[in-house]
Amino acid sequence: MAESQKGSPQFDCSNLEQALREESPELIAALEQHATSCESCRAELNIWREISAAALTMHKEWESPALWPRIENSLQTEIARPRGWRAWFADLNLIPQMRWQIALATLVLMAASGAGAWLLLHRSTSTPVNDAHLLTDQAVQQVEQAQKTYEQSIDKLAKLAEPKLNAASTPLLKNYREKLNLLDAAISECRTNLERNQANAYLRSELLSFYQEKQQTLEQVLREE
Amino acid sequence: MPRLDDPAAESLRVEARAADARLSAACRAGNIEAYEELYRAQSSRMKSIALNLLGNAHDAEDVVQETFLKIHRGIRYFKGQSAFSTWTYRILVNCCYDMRRKKTRRMETAEQDLVADDQTFDSPAPMHDHPLRMALEKCVQQLTPYLRSVFVLYEVEGFKHAEIGLMLGISEMASKNALYQAKRKLRELLSQQAGSGQMAASQS
């Protein structure tokens, strides 16, 4: 590139890229002047210009008589079509008389969904302890009341059967007595546990099954000759 | 295609802007005649741009049709931040990108030879030919979409870097840089082609 520097003091080969990139008239003029004495830059500039000249011939024009009618048709269809939510609604192709009813049904559905969602959220926030085994205070009171009444009736039944059990002479009656003792022990243990955890629904159902078993056994004792 | 860089063209540009504003207002009103006027004024250039970006005349015409539909759908968002014609060319270039993307995806799913198809260039005959034209057309198809767009818009269609910047959403300087990169890559590709051509000639 030494010989090129003789040609133009303002421009040397290192400025070639900048000139081709920026294409400012001053830099291109300087490059042209420099190119008269620098073969490599002249070759580069010529290739660059050849590409530009060839590119101009890449512009093509051809007749397309069917194109505008196609565009016109599609534009007319597009212009005739309603826009936005109306377009969506029109696309449903509904019977015109039914449209307001469907709109109303949609509104009702949306309101019902909203209310359902609100209730679900509200319920989940008002019951922070979501355990199936635990009862609420109100429910515990109701269960305890029913349980007391049930216990009292079973106690009455037990009093009726007591003389018969005390005078048990047959193996069957002795077995019943043994079973009733075991059931009383289980009931007592279950009640002790319930005192510690009154809202435990599982313990309550277990206690109920013991009482039912006791009731059935007492009835069998009373039926025994 | 002359490039309107000289100051004498300024008055023409002012007139063009007034015509642009009138045309865009008529198109916004859904006036089909306005669209026809736009078609008459821009379709040749639109088809040429699309052809050079997509590689075949059939796709180019489809894209021009799609561009007019998109102009109609988007005209209410056009606020005159650029010339109406520049805005329409921006839509055209985006439609070309979309079309090319769709075609590439289709070819990938159909497991066809994408490279072979990319290199085919089905174009109408040019008005004035140049010995480099055919080789250049093939090489342009090998450029990235971005470099190809800048090259086609500047060198083939004669837009200014400022206009290209508005069309592609880039700065004027970025457009100049892209053009330089595109031409450098084309020079490299053309040299390779010339080399392989010489090799083929010497082998035969």
pLDDT grade for A137, boundaries at 50, 70 and 90: confident
Q: What is the mean pLDDT of residues B117-132?
A: 59
Phi, psi of A129, rounded to the nearest 5 degrees: -95, 105
Are A68 and B47 inside 8 Å of each other by CB?
A: no
CA dihedral B158, B162, B166, B170 (to 10 degrees): 110
Per-residue pLDDT reduced to its tens digit, B93-115? 999 999 998 888 887 776 555 44
When CB atoms are compared, the residue of B57, B133, B180 closest to A57 is B133
Angle between helix axes B32-54 and A67-80 (nearest 10 degrees) is: 120
Q: Could you say which of A67, A76, A79 has the minimum Cβ distance to residue B64? A: A67
Residue with tokens 């014609």: B85
Cα separation, A68 vs A112, whole angstroms:
51
Q: Which residues of A touch B130 (CB under 8 A)?
A: 53-54, 56-57
> Under an 8 A CB cutoff, do A74 and B124 touch?
no
Residue A13 in contact with residue A4, Cβ under 8 Å?
yes
Distance from the Cα of B153 to chain A's closest Cα (Å) equals 10
Residue B122 has pLDDT above 70, yes or no: no
Per-state percent for chain A, helix, strand, coil, to nearest 5: 80, 0, 20
Question: In Å, how far is B111's CA from the nearest CA of chain A?
Answer: 31
Rounded to the nearest angstrom, the minimum Cα separation between B192 and chain A is: 14
User: In this structure, what are the phi and psi dihedrals at residue A41, rounded to the nearest 5 degrees?
Assistant: -70, -35
Q: Coil, helix or strand for A65?
A: coil
Q: Chain A residue with minimal CA distance to B178? A: A21
Cβ pairs bridging A and B (under 8 Å): 112
- Under DSSP, the state recorded for B4 is -
Mean pLDDT value of segment A35-45: 91
Q: Please name which of B51, B38, B35, B40 lies closest in space to residue B86, comparing C-alpha atoms.
A: B38
Say what the pTM is: 0.60
* Contact state of A57 with B128 under an 8 Å Cβ cutoff: yes
Decide if pLDDT at A5 tops 80: no
* Residue B114 confidence (pLDDT): 46
Selection from B22, B25, B49, B24 nearest residue B163 by Cα: B49
Rg of chain A on CA atoms, in Å: 50
- Which residues 112-151 of chain B have a CB within 8 Å of chain A? 123-133, 136-137, 140, 151
Phi-psi category of residue A168: left, alpha or beta, with phi > 0 → left and psi -120 to 50 → alpha? beta
What's phi and psi for B118, nearest 5 deg? Answer: -60, -30
Within an 8 Å CB–CB cutoff, is residue B72 touching chain A? yes
Structure confidence by residue, pLDDT tens digits, B133-150: 888 999 999 999 999 999
Please give the Cα distance from B99 to B105 (Å, whole number).
10
What are residue A76's DSSP bridge partners?
A: none
B160 Cβ under 8 Å from any chain A Cβ: no
Highest mean pLDDT: which range of A28-32, A137-141, A201-205, B124-128: A28-32
Structure tokens at A12: 């040397």
What pLDDT, on a 0 to 100 scale, did the predictor assign at position A104? Answer: 80
Q: Which residues pair with A132 in a beta bridge?
A: none
| Segment A151-165, tens digit of pLDDT | 888 888 888 888 888
CA-based nearest distance A97→chain B, Å? 30
Q: Which of A22, A55, A70 sits opposite B156 (nearest CB)?
A: A55
**Using CB atoms, which residue from A23, A55, A76 is nearest to B32?**
A76
Higher pLDDT, A215 or A128: A215
The pLDDT value given to residue B108:
73
Q: A-chain residues within 8 Å CB-CB of B171?
A: none
* Residues in CB range of B21: below 8 A, 6 or more apart: B80, B84
Is residue B139 within 8 Å of B197, Cβ to Cβ? no
Contact at CB, B61 and A74, closer than 8 angstroms: no
Put simply, the answer to whether B132 touches A51 (Cβ < 8 Å) is yes
- Using an 8 Å Cβ cutoff, are B8 and B117 in contact? no
Chain A residue numbers with beta carbons less than 8 Å from the beta carbon of B64 are 67, 71
Say whether pLDDT at B117 is over 50.
Answer: no
Does residue B182 have a pLDDT over 70? Answer: yes
CB contact under 8 A, B132 and A54: yes
pLDDT bin (cut points 50, 70, 90) of residue A2 is: very low
For A41-95, write each residue's pLDDT tens digit: 999 999 999 999 999 999 999 999 999 999 999 999 888 876 666 666 655 555 5
Residue A6: its pLDDT value, please? 44
Terminal-residue alpha carbon distance, chain B: 40
* pLDDT of residue A180 exceeding 60: yes
**Buried b or exposed e, range A95-120, using 16+ CB within 10 angstroms:** eeeeeeeeeeeeeeeeeeeeeeeeee
- Cβ of B1 within 8 Å of Cβ of A56? The answer is yes
Token pair 């003091």 in the structure block, residue: A9
Please tell me which of the candidates A53, A59, A68 has its beta carbon nearest to residue B48: A59
